[in-house]
Amino acid sequence: MQLSWWEINSWFTNVDYTIVGSGITGLHTALRLRERFHRSKILVLEKGPLPQGASTKNAGFACFGSLSEIIDDLNNHTEEEVTALIQKRWQGLQLLRKRLGDSAIDFKPYGGYELFLESDTAGYENCLRRLPFVNDVLRPLFRADVFVKETDRFDFKGTQDSLIFNPFEGQIDTGAMMQALLKDAVANNILILNSQTVTAYHEKNDSVSVSLGDFTFSTKKLLFATNGFAAQLTNGAVKPARAQVLITEPIPNLGIKGTFHIDRGYYYFRNIGNRILFGGARNLDFDVETTTDFGNTNIIQNQLEKLLREVILPDTDFTVAHRWSGIMGMGPGKVPVVKQLSEHVYFGVRLGGMGIAIGSMIGKELADLV
Ligand SMILES: Cc1cc2nc3c(=O)[nH]c(=O)nc-3n(C[C@H](O)[C@H](O)[C@H](O)COP(=O)(O)OP(=O)(O)OC[C@H]3O[C@@H](n4cnc5c(N)ncnc54)[C@H](O)[C@@H]3O)c2cc1C
């Protein structure tokens, strides 16, 4: 890349903070830095022509965990860890809504549901048994019961009789949310450069030199918000996790409205107007889906279509309009990692499957490390 003197001078000279990644986390990091440092030069570098990880690819659930997922988490984390994580997700959702406004992100408080397949009687009964306990754990935070047993009024087929309803869950328009964040960043004098891959960095005494291929510049602080692409940076604490999705063509008289979970969050669907977006099934093929390569596979797409046809829309003709994938960042624990790596380098990654909720908080925490 041969840059002009003007380009070097305006974009790459006297840079105070460089953020790698323009997803939810990176943009919130930049905005929080701007709140703290009014006159600093803040630069965001993004390898994709658009943000190209999970933030523009996701399902738009404004959620903090389904009942079966929370019960599963309680098996692997302490009660305190689980409540702290849910609290962070809940606070993160409020921060996102406050920062951008509900109309900008098209927030719809339709509530969320969990359904259980007929074959999962054990999981269903376990959830019903532990529902009062989980509500007790969450009551100090929500001051009400979060999970309520409800009769299925959606005519799902091959499922247990009741659903679990969560009135605190909502849905957003992911594209609108990311556009609003990008506009907010530009309005706050944050420079965003797309199609720029950070290929290396080298720490010096008072700064970091950052390489974009054959071009190198200096920044006082370097902050990575690269989530699923941070395996090397974090020494394996984060692994990429591809998630595949499909969306149907419009379905006349669609009666499904809200966000829906199946099997500990491994499957999720929602309405978008009169279409259904459906994603998941990563657990059918964990090894293949542990990748930073975008793409769709038959094993997963066929399973999504099967469940759509047999369970979710059993008596409805539908056609699939579009399919895509995104890359999440997962790890052995569900708690994100926000860390100072060295004197001038930091990272905030491993947002798992609930980055819409937690991204704003992780961005803030990352910026506040500086
Ligand atoms: C299909 C799917 C459905 C999901 N559904 C939901 C949902 O409904 N609700 C929810 O809360 N969460 C959901 N998630 C998870 C959520 O989208 C993520 O947790 C969140 O977007 C993570 O944000 P991030 O900014 O940390 O990471 P990302 O959005 O992945 O951003 C990281 C960015 O870093 C860039 N980058 C990486 N390496 C470099 C480099 N070397 N140089 C320059 N740039 C680089 C990438 O291109 C990327 O844009 C879903 C994810 C997927 C994939």
pLDDT tens-digit series, residues 86-104: 999 999 999 999 999 999 9
CA torsion through residues 292, 356, 363, 266, sign: negative
Categorize the per-residue pLDDT at 253 as very low, low, confident or very high, splitting at 50, 70 and 90: very high
This model's pTM is above 0.75: yes
Q: For residues 363 and 370, what is the distance between their CA atoms, to the nearest angstrom?
A: 12
- For residue 216, count CB atoms less than 10 angstroms from its CB and return exposed for 0-12, middle for 13-18, buried for 19 or more: middle
Q: Is the pLDDT of residue 124 over 80?
A: yes
pLDDT at 40: 98
Phi then psi for 76, rounded to 5 degrees? -115, -10
Q: Is the pLDDT of residue 1 over 80?
A: no
CA torsion through residues 138, 144, 150, 152, sign: negative
Q: Is the pLDDT of residue 329 over 80?
A: yes
Ligand 1 centroid distance, CA of 324 (Å): 14
Establish how many alpha carbons lie within 13 A of residue 244's alpha carbon, considering only the half-sphere containing its beta carbon. 25
pLDDT tens digits, one per residue of 125-168: 999 999 999 999 999 999 999 999 999 999 999 999 999 999 99
Mean pLDDT, to the nearest integer, of 221-230?
98
Atom 31, ligand 1: which residue's CA is nearest? 23
Ligand 1 centroid distance, CA of 55 (Å): 4
Categorize the per-residue pLDDT at 193 as very low, low, confident or very high, splitting at 50, 70 and 90: very high
Mean pLDDT, to the nearest integer, of 119-129?
96
pLDDT at 213: 95
C-alpha 218: how far from chain center = 30
pLDDT at 266: 94
Averaged confidence pLDDT in the chain: 96
pLDDT at 131: 97
Mean pLDDT, to the nearest integer, of 196-205?
97
Strand residue runs (E) in the chain? 15-20, 42-45, 61-62, 112-115, 148-151, 162-166, 170-171, 191-193, 200-203, 208-212, 215-224, 239-248, 259-262, 267-272, 275-280, 320-330, 337-342, 345-349
The closest alpha carbon to 94, from 144, 231, 86, belongs to 86
Helices (H), 204-249: none
Helices and strands (DSSP H and E) totals, the chain: 10, 18
Q: Is the pLDDT of residue 252 over 90?
A: yes
Q: How many residues does the chain have?
A: 370
The DSSP code sequence of 122-142 is HHHHHHHHHHHHHHHHHHHHH
Q: Which residue has better confidence, 343 or 77?
A: 343
Q: Where does ligand 1 bind, in terms of residues with CB under 6 Å?
A: 20-26, 45-48, 51-55, 57-61, 63, 197-198, 225-229, 243, 245, 279, 326, 328, 351, 353-357, 359
Given ligand 1 and candidates 31, 47, 238, which is best to mutate, with the most ligand atoms within 8 Å of its CB? 47
Mean pLDDT, to the nearest integer, of 65-78?
93
Contacts of 327 (CB under 8 A, 6+ apart): 53, 54, 57, 227, 228, 229, 240, 241, 242, 243, 291, 292, 294
pLDDT at 14: 98
**For the chain, first and last CA: distance in Å?**
30
| Least-confidence region, from 31-45, 64-78, 317-331 | 64-78
Contacts of 49 (CB under 8 A, 6+ apart): 194, 195
pLDDT at 2: 86
Q: For residues 280 and 289, what is the distance between their CA atoms, to the nearest angstrom?
A: 11
Q: Is the pLDDT of residue 72 over 80?
A: yes
Closest atom, ligand 1, to C-alpha of 53: 30
Q: Is the pLDDT of residue 333 over 90?
A: no
Mean pLDDT, to the nearest integer, of 256-276?
96
Mean pLDDT, to the nearest integer, of 281-303?
98
Contacts of 200 (CB under 8 A, 6+ apart): 210, 211
Given ligand 1 and candidates 25, 85, 166, 227, which is best to mutate, with the most ligand atoms within 8 Å of its CB? 227
